[in-house]
Amino acid sequence: AAAGLGRLALSAAGPARPARPPCGRPACPGTVCSRPSPSPPPIASRPRTSSWPCWAPAAWARAVQDNLLQVADPLSRCVQWADGFLLVYSITDYDSYQAIRPLYQHIRKVHPDARVPVVIVGNKGDLLHARQVQTHDGVQLANELGSLFLEISTSENYEDVCDVFQHLCKEVSKSHGVSGERRRASIIPRPRSPNMQDLKRRFKQALSSKVKAPSALG
């Protein structure tokens, strides 16, 4: 799996095309945004082949390291508006793990003053026979970068996916509580916080109805 901004986690948990975030800006996989936008721009088309995060992880890492990302790049645009990030690598792909640090540094460069929450996720935790990244490598990197770390399997346990987003949402709320968000709140009304229990229940319902559907037909 490529270590884009959380593509794996989102593609396992949600629709094939990412949903539009509450702010109306083009959705960026793995980012959480709580800012409403008065005039949403159209969803940008993202070919699965060239410019959008289908680059190999090493290519992302190089682009970030070499300062090749321009403000107009999709990644840079996402990094500017997002309130939180999931950086997802695959435990079966060491390159994807190595791409996490430069991506993290890019985020910190774009937000030098704000502690925008970043959660690091090691995905494909079920593929132990193909493991290239040890759990302690993930823990160590997350400790070093001051991020939360979770190792999950999106294919084995959808609750893992809920947990990841729950952690990130908590971190985002925490960071808003202590940062300049209060100042912004006086200008822009904040959307209501999602009720995570309710979201989890609805997510389970949706999944179980999908599982039941084939037997109902047969």
11 is a site residue for ligand GTP (CB under 6 A): yes
- The DSSP line for 38-53 is SSPPPPPP--TTTTSS
Instruction: For residue 47, count other CB atoms closer than 10 A to its CB.
Output: 8
CA 27 to chain centre: 11
Record the tokens describing residue 206, joined without a space: 């949706």
What's phi and psi for 47, nearest 5 deg? Answer: -60, 140
Binding to ligand GTP, residues 99-128 (CB under 6 A): 123-124, 126-127
Binding mask 139-158 for ligand GTP (x = CB under 6 A): --------------xxx---
132 is a site residue for ligand GTP (CB under 6 A): no
12 is a site residue for ligand GTP (CB under 6 A): yes
46 is a site residue for ligand GTP (CB under 6 A): no
Near ligand GTP by CB under 6 A, which window of 5-13, 16-24, 72-80, 164-172?
A: 5-13
H-helix or E-strand spanning residue 142: helix 135-145
| Least distance CB 2 / ligand GTP (angstroms) | 4
Pair 101, 138: CB distance under 8 Å: no
Near ligand GTP by CB under 6 A, which window of 6-14, 65-73, 196-204, 206-214?
A: 6-14
Give dist(CA 18, CA 140) in Å, integer. 31
Q: How many CA atoms lie within 13 A of 73 on its CB side?
A: 17
Binding to ligand GTP, residues 167-196 (CB under 6 A): none
- Would you tell me which residues interact with ligand GTP (CB under 6 A)? 1-2, 7-8, 11-12, 90, 123-124, 126-127, 153-155
